[in-house]
Amino acid sequence: MSVRHTGEVILDVKNISLAFGGVKALTDISFNVREHEIRAIIGPNGAGKSSMLNCINGVYQPQQGSINFRGQTFSHMNSRQVAEMGFARTFQNLALFKGMSVLDNIMTGRNLKMKTNLFQQALRWGAAEREETEQRQFVEKIIDFLEIQPYRKTPVGRLPYGLQKRVDLGRALAMEPTILLLDEPMAGMNVEEKQDMCRFVLDVNDEFGTTIVLIEHDMGVVMDISDRVVVLDYGKKIGDGTPAEVRANPDVISAYLGTSH
């Protein structure tokens, strides 16, 4: 794979430790993310991957360590603040509104961009109507981008899983994120759906210049699309580097790759 140009460090995670009572989910984890790169976090089940993501977007508050985003240092993040700073995420187990249409689900991703108040929106009055038209235009571009035009008006609950994952990604994209956090975007998909999702992730990175942090189980996918990989095992960092470096790392081989066969 050719070396891609990635920018400055925009997200720097330093010495994060997180414990739930006696269970140490994360111990002294540090890594950084460069602008425009695709950064993967891998590790066996229970390694602390999702916990790490949850620390970054403010769902969990780590007991130790700090997170630096674009020069600002935080000892813990706050979910709303994180969203306003340009973080968006998708969920491992999907968190869509099953009864709402694809369009409306993605529209919820524009919530932070809306300036009019509840009353104006309820009456679709003046500025609210103009605003909705603008937001709808943006949402339509995402629908086009993700090729889900046939399902625009379909309730999300009626779509197959692979498409629901795509809608989940669409809603995250609607926030026009600087950093996109993807929690196992290919989990439970068949080969074709995985290929499609890979292409969308690469396209998002390429077309919008979005920085992507993704957690993934599928080693093939990770090695193919990531620029750099962090490997966690039992809450500790055991490897960090390009896919090739990680693949050659003996700790990683014994902890993860070696035992997976």
Partner 1 sequence: MQTTFPRLMLEHAKARPDAPALREKEYGIWQSLSWSGLASLVRELACGLSQAGLQRGQHIVVVAENRPRLYATMLAAQSVGAVPVPLYQDAAANEYIFPINNAEITMAVVEDQEQVDKMIELRESCPQLARIWYDDPRGLRKYDAPGLQSLDALVEAGRAYNVQHPQFFDEQVALGQPGDVASMFFTSGTTGNPKGVVHTHFTLIDRAQAGASFDKLGPNEEVLAYLPPAWIGQNIFSYAQWLVCGYVVNCPESASTVTIDLKEIGPTYYFAPPRVFEGLLTTVMIRMEDAGRLKKWLFQRCMELARRVGPALMDGKPVGTTDRLLYALGNLCIYGPLRNSLGMSRVRVAYTAGEAIGPDLFSFYRSIGINLKQLYGSTETAVFVCLQPDHEAKADTVGVPIAGVEIRLAENGEILVKSPGLLKEYYKNPAATAEVLTADGWYHTGDAGFLDAGGHLKIIDRAKDVGRLKGGAHDGAMFAPKYVENKLKFFPYIKEAVAFGDQRERACAFVNIDMEAVGNWAEKRNLPYAGYTDLAQKPEVYELVRDCIEKVNADLAADALLAGSQIHRFLILHKELDADDGELTRTRKVKRGFIGERYQILVDALYGGKTSQFIETQVSFDDGRKGAVSAELKIMDVKVFPALRKAA
Question: Which residues of this chain interact with partner 1, rule CB under 8 A?
Answer: 136-137, 140-141, 143-145, 147, 149-150, 152, 203, 206-207
> Which CB, 24 or 152, lies closer to partner 1?
152
Q: How far is the CB of 190 from partner 1 (least distance, A)?
A: 12
> Which CB, 84 or 144, lies closer to partner 1?
144
> Which CB, 8 or 207, lies closer to partner 1?
207
Question: In what helix (H) or strand (E) does residue 26 lie, and over which residues does it extend?
Answer: strand 23-34
| DSSP three-state, residue 77 | coil
Q: CA distances (Å), 253 to each of 87, 232, 235, 258, 260, in order?
A: 32, 12, 17, 5, 9
Give the type of residue at 138. Answer: F
> Which CB, 24 or 136, lies closer to partner 1?
136
Q: How far is the CB of 216 from partner 1 (least distance, A)?
A: 22
Sheet of 23-34, strands arranged across: 23-34, 9-20, 64-69, 72-74
- Find where tokens 């984890």 sit: 29
CA atoms within 13 A on the CB side of 198: 17
Q: How far is the CB of 125 from partner 1 (least distance, A)?
A: 23
Measured distance CA(3)–CA(64) in Å, rounded: 34
> Which CB, 192 or 259, lies closer to partner 1?
192
Q: How far is the CB of 127 from partner 1 (least distance, A)?
A: 22
Q: How far is the CB of 172 from partner 1 (least distance, A)?
A: 19
